């Protein structure tokens, strides 16, 4: 007998393979948004389509909130869910689409593990789709896909994606320890590269380099500015890219690409272009481009104990935090990670 989760994943991952034949840009997102809206009735549209100017556009969070903006998958028919999946697939890469589906799947695992404490808050279909502004190739509008441990936000102007932040993904558990029928297999890790590459880079540093990179002996409880409309504007800390040897630079580059790879090709390429072309500190060539990126670490240097890293450049900030226990009590087995725009999320300048 096929489990509910298996059927859920079949709907997502089976769909994904068929969704590859499409252009990866804002025009395609616009068309997919219109197609999804066309499947909705009037009451559903009231939830799904909101004015672009509403403050809810920048109201984001990844905690299991009882109320959220938008229309949840649970409230959609099968054809409407298919259209919603198609919309999401036009906004993210195959990698990002698969990770999103697996993050949703983990909520079913939490529902089983938490039992009565989970109530109705743990649900792989409790993920909400919201459009702000009427989708058009000639206007500005935005898309939000959000639920527990997932917040993806996009602004499209004149058929081009002009902002893709905040980009948040989380995993509880980070590593699946239980072996339960029809649920993610023991050992499964949806955000494996985000965690393991961080440890790999830290392990390559010399003792002197670690003195620069490690900013605190204990990891913070959470990423900074969680749920706030803009990232923190603070000085760069840690060790600079230019201070690393070639092998370490390659690992840091792979780690940055891991976050970009969840986005469609045009968005990923634009992020990397902005890094390449950033002018650095006071226009100094030595701190331009990748040379100005800093890597910072806090907390333990081994799995199972709270750990955190931050990667920042002139145009972006990545934060990764794993300090919380999972539902079974396994320590530091609950990941929060995010990519934010240091020039301003949601296509809004930092004030």
Query: Taking 70 as the threshold, does the pLDDT of residue 13 lie above it?
Result: no
Helix and strand numbers, DSSP H then E, in the chain: 9, 13
Query: Taking 80 as the threshold, does the pLDDT of residue 120 lie above it?
Result: yes
pLDDT of residue 20: 40
**33-80 confidence digits (pLDDT tens):** 999 999 999 999 999 999 999 999 999 999 999 999 999 999 999 999
Q: What SS3 class is residue 129?
A: strand
Query: Taking 50 as the threshold, does the pLDDT of residue 309 lie above it?
Result: yes
Query: What is the residue extent of each domain of the chain?
Result: 4-163, 192-347
What is the chain's mean pLDDT, rounded?
A: 93
**Beta strand 150-157 pairing with 140-147:** antiparallel
pLDDT of residue 15: 54
pLDDT of residue 18: 41
Report, as an integer, the average pLDDT of 223-239.
Answer: 97
Predicted confidence band at 12 (pLDDT cuts at 50, 70, 90)?
A: low
What tokens does 151 get? 């917040």
DSSP string covering 31-66: HHHHHHHHH--HHHHHHHEE-TT-GGGG----S--S
Question: 2-6, 70-74, 96-100, 249-253: which range is least confident on average?
Answer: 2-6
pLDDT of residue 39: 99
Question: 70-74, 232-236, 275-279, 293-297: which range is least confident on average?
Answer: 275-279
Predicted confidence band at 6 (pLDDT cuts at 50, 70, 90)?
A: very low
Query: Taking 90 as the threshold, does the pLDDT of residue 11 lie above it?
Result: no
pLDDT of residue 279: 77
């Amino acid at each position: 007998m096929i489990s509910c989760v298996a059927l859920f994943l079949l709907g997502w991952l089976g769909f994904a393979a068929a969704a590859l034949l499409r252009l990866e840009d804002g025009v395609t997102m616009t068309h997919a948004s219109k197609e999804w809206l066309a499947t909705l009735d009037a009451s559903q549209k009231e939830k799904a389509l909101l004015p672009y100017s509403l403050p809810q556009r920048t109201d984001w969070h990844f905690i299991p909130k009882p109320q959220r903006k938008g229309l949840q998958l649970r409230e959609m028919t099968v054809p409407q869910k298919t259209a919603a999946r198609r919309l999401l697939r036009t906004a993210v890469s195959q990698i990002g689409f698969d990770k999103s589906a697996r993050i949703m799947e983990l909520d079913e695992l939490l529902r089983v593990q938490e039992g009565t404490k989970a109530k109705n808050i743990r649900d792989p279909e409790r993920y909400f789709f919201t459009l702000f502004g009427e989708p058009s190739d000639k206007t500005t509008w935005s898309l939000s896909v959000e639920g527990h441990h997932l917040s993806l936000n996009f602004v499209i102007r004149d058929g081009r994606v002009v902002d893709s932040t905040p980009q948040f993904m989380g995993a509880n558990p980070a590593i699946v320890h239980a072996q339960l029928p029809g649920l993610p297999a023991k050992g499964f890790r949806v955000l494996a590269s985000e965690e393991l590459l961080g440890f790999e880079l830290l392990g390559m540093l010399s003792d002197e380099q670690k003195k620069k990179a490690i900013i605190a002996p204990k990891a913070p409880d959470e990423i900074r500015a969680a749920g706030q409309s803009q990232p923190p504007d603070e000085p760069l800390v840690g060790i600079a890219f230019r201070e690393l040897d070639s092998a370490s630079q390659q690992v840091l580059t792979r780690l940055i690409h891991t976050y970009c790879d969840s986005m469609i090709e045009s968005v990923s390429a634009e992020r990397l272009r902005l890094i390449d072309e950033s002018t650095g500190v006071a226009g100094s060539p030595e701190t331009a481009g990748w040379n100005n990126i800093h890597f910072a670490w806090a907390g333990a240097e081994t799995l199972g104990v709270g750990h955190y890293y931050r990667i920042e450049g002139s145009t972006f900030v990545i934060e990764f935090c794993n300090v919380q226990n999972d539902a079974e009590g396994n320590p530091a087995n609950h990941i929060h990670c995010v990519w934010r725009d240091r020039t301003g999320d949601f296509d809004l300048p930092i004030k």
